[in-house]
């Protein structure tokens, strides 16, 4: 067992001393981690709009495709074996994005949800998960990307301010398959997402990117784990965050494990944070554990900084006022990743939300 | 007719060793249509003068005044100075990742003109400005100054000068790092801009070669934080021949 995986919990309940939980405000998780939450199976995930040919969506019995030591996921699995299943047929090439959204039911109880997304071999699809409103949600999302399949998953956290959301988004990526994930977290009280990837055959690749913007009091945690256990797989991680306001707190953990068998691995991970005010805190921890030297490349970078005065001066010297200059810089900062979404409506919506967060922060 | 007037300007910067005075009392008056060259050795404070007029936060004005048609420039924020009619072409233009040239120019033009330029006319304006500076149309989609060569950065600065039409253009070592062709193209842009807008030019340079293209009406020699000699274009010829050695102890 490596340090990246050692997360043994007594009685399934994290105390905050474990590596995986050391940043998370356990008291603000609504009891989803310790059994005190009142779980419900609401099956609130539904297709938004028409489902294109080649895709099916059902609520049914789910057999977990992976094991995990995550306390919340294990509680979900103990609670229910039912969940939502989206299947993309083998060889289906679906050009229109598939939209799934969640209806919120308030915060009196917690929804414990399981989801399985299965991209059949050599299929090509884009799936958008839209999360809005106020809820308590614990989610076990498993993603299977079969040989030769290309799946893009866009996960939008546009939650209301009372939401507590704790989830594992785990992808199993098979031979010559690609998994592209874009996580946007701009709303919620506490959001904790574990975007994790398991490569199970050579030629697999993943591209995990994300943007987050936390304002006063919000806690957003994104904790990657990419497991290179087979040769010739490629991973890229690029998360960018902005923080503003008292006790805005973000956590980015980038764990990449290159096992002895994973020769030919190519990995790079990056996290950049923009601190827009005092009183905010960005934790950024890349971890690279390498058991073989026979690799193509492995690297990481992490930066946390404030507004670049020179950028603001340059823009303002062209007549652009301070607020507009800040907006341009922040939009530019996030643009690299938001542009990857590839759906113009959503890109505009995310940018507008980022403008709003910035405007709120400026007050 | 506009007048930019600098009187007794003293400027210092904060360092770990405390404040250091860089400008030690600068007097200079520029009128519309005039071209003033400020020449001097490295470290004499030429760029500090440019950035102080534009309002860079690094510089502290300790005394003196800068006025534009009587308005107190030093009381203005950086964007207000631009709106009042000042433009600084920078020696080292700053990269702004993720912001396209096209978006940047339109945002700046909107701010300076008080309303968004009509799209069709604006596209034509930008296209013409880029063509006259021999810039590829793809340039507009690139991020501001990101990955630009030295020559591209300077062309981009002068393109802004042509589009934003200030009352006074301060060119801070616009000639540095340019090959002969780029120097000619950029200089022609300045001359063209001045011809159509009749703005004043404050041309800061270390070398005389740019003066072959942009003819100064007045030459000011800058040394040790102040103007030490003034004259007409003939002063530049003298500097070409003798260098700055005689001003070293000024």
ipTM of this predicted structure: 0.96
Chain B residue numbers with beta carbons less than 8 Å from the beta carbon of A318 are 79, 82, 87, 104, 108, 111-112, 160, 164
Q: pLDDT-derived band of residue B243, with 50, 70 and 90 as boundaries?
A: confident
Q: A307 to chain B: nearest residue by CA?
A: B96
Contact present, B168 and B2 (Cβ < 8 Å): yes
Q: For the beta carbon of residue A288, count every other beta carbon within 10 angstroms.
A: 17
- Could you tell me the pTM of the whole model? 0.90
Chain B residue numbers with beta carbons less than 8 Å from the beta carbon of A335 are 98-99
Chain B residue numbers with beta carbons less than 8 Å from the beta carbon of A209 are none
Among B90, B98, B108, the residue with its CB nearest the CB of A336 is: B98
Chain A within 8 Å of B55 (Cβ-Cβ)? yes
* pLDDT for A9: 55
User: Do B98 and A321 lie within an 8 Å CB cutoff?
Assistant: no
Chain A residue numbers with beta carbons less than 8 Å from the beta carbon of B111 are 318-321, 324
Q: A339 to chain B: nearest residue by CA?
A: B98
Residue B84, pLDDT above cutoff 80: yes
User: Do B99 and A331 lie within an 8 Å CB cutoff?
Assistant: yes
Both tokens of residue B147? 């990955």
pLDDT by residue, tens only, chain A of 363 residues: 344 444 555 557 898 989 899 999 999 999 999 999 999 998 999 999 999 999 999 999 999 999 998 999 999 999 999 999 999 999 999 999 999 999 887 888 999 999 999 999 999 999 999 999 999 999 999 999 999 999 999 999 999 999 999 999 999 999 999 999 999 999 999 999 999 999 999 999 999 999 999 999 999 999 999 999 999 999 999 999 999 999 999 999 999 999 999 999 999 999 999 999 999 999 999 999 999 999 999 999 999 999 999 999 999 999 999 999 999 999 999 999 999 999 999 999 999 999 999 988 765
| Across B38-63, average pLDDT | 95
User: Do A318 and B94 lie within an 8 Å CB cutoff?
Assistant: no
Chain A residue numbers with beta carbons less than 8 Å from the beta carbon of B91 are none
Among candidate residues A139, A143, A123, A142, the one with its CA nearest the CA of residue A131: A139
* pLDDT for A2: 47
Residues 6+ apart with CB under 8 A from A175: A147, A148, A200, A201, A202, A203, A204
Among A319, A325, A334, the residue with its CB nearest the CB of B112 is: A319
CA distance A357 to A187: 9
* pLDDT for A3: 47
| Across B6-15, average pLDDT | 96
In sequence order, what DSSP letters do the residues of B100-116 get, joined into one string? EHHHHHHHHHHHHHSSP
**Radius of gyration (C-alpha) of chain A in whole angstroms:** 20
Among candidate residues B130, B126, B173, the one with its CA nearest the CA of residue B152: B130
């Amino acid at each position: 067992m490596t340090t990246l995986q050692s997360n043994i919990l007594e009685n399934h309940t994290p105390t905050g001393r474990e590596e995986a939980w050391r940043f998370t405000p356990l008291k603000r998780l609504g009891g989803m981690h310790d059994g005190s939450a009142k779980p419900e199976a609401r099956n609130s995930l539904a297709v938004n709009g028409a489902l294109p040919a080649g895709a099916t969506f059902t609520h049914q019995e789910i057999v977990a495709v992976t094991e995990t030591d995550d306390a919340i996921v294990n509680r979900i699995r103990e609670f229910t074996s039912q969940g939502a299943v989206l299947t993309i047929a083998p060889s289906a090439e679906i050009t229109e994005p598939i939209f799934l959204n969640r209806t919120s039911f308030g915060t009196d109880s917690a929804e414990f949800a399981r989801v399985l997304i299965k991209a059949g071999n050599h299929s090509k699809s884009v799936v958008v998960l839209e999360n809005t409103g106020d809820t308590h949600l614990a989610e076990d999302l498993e993603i299977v990307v079969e040989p030769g399949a290309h799946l893009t998953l866009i996960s939008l956290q546009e939650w209301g301010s009372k939401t507590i959301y704790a989830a594992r988004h785990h992808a199993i990526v098979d031979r010559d398959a690609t998994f592209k994930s874009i996580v946007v977290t701009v709303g919620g009280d506490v959001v904790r997402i574990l975007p994790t990837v398991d490569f199970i055959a050579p030629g697999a690749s993943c591209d995990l990117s994300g943007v987050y913007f936390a304002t006063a009091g919000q806690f957003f945690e994104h904790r990657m784990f990419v497991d290179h256990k087979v040769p010739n797989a490629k991973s890229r991680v690029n998360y960018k965050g902005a923080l503003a306001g008292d006790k805005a707190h973000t956590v980015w953990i980038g764990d990449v494990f290159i096992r002895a068998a994973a020769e030919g691995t190519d990995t790079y991970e990056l996290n950049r944070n923009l601190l827009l005010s005092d009183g905010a805190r960005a934790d950024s921890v890349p971890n690279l554990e390498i058991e073989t030297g026979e690799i193509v490349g492995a690297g990481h970078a992490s930066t946390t900084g404030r507004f670049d005065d020179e950028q603001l001066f340059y823009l303002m010297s062209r007549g652009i006022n301070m607020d507009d200059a800040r907006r341009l810089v922040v939009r530019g900062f996030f643009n690299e990743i938001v542009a990857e979404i590839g759906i113009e409506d959503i890109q505009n919506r995310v940018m507008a939300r980022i403008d709003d967060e910035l405007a709120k922060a400026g007050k | 007719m506009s007048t930019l007037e600098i009187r007794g300007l003293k400027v210092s910067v904060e360092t770990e060793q405390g404040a250091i005075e860089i400008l030690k009392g600068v007097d200079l008056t520029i009128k519309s249509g005039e071209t003033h060259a400020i020449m001097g050795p490295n470290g004499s404070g030429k760029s500090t003068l440019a950035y102080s007029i534009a309002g860079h936060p690094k510089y502290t004005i300790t005394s003196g005044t800068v006025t534009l048609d009587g308005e107190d420039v030093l009381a203005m924020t950086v964007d207000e100075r631009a709106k009042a009619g000042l433009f600084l072409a920078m020696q080292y233009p700053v990269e702004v990742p993720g912001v396209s040239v096209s978006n940047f120019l339109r945002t700046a033009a909107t701010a300076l003109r008080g309303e968004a330029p009509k799209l069709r006319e604006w596209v034509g304006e930008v296209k013409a400005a880029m063509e006259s500076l021999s810039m590829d149309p793809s340039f507009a989609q690139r991020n501001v100054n990101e990955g630009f060569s030295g020559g591209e950065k300077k062309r981009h600065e002068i393109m802004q000068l042509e589009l934003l039409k200030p009352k006074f253009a301060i060119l801070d070592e616009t000639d540095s790092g340019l090959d002969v062709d780029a120097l000619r193209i950029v200089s022609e842009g300045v001359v063209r801009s001045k011809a159509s807008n009749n703005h004043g030019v404050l041309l800061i340079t270390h070398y005389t070669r740019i003066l072959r293209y942009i003819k100064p009406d007045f030459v000011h020699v800058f040394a040790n934080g102040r103007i030490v000699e003034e004259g007409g274009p003939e002063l530049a010829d003298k500097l070409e021949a003798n260098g700055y050695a005689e001003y070293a102890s000024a």
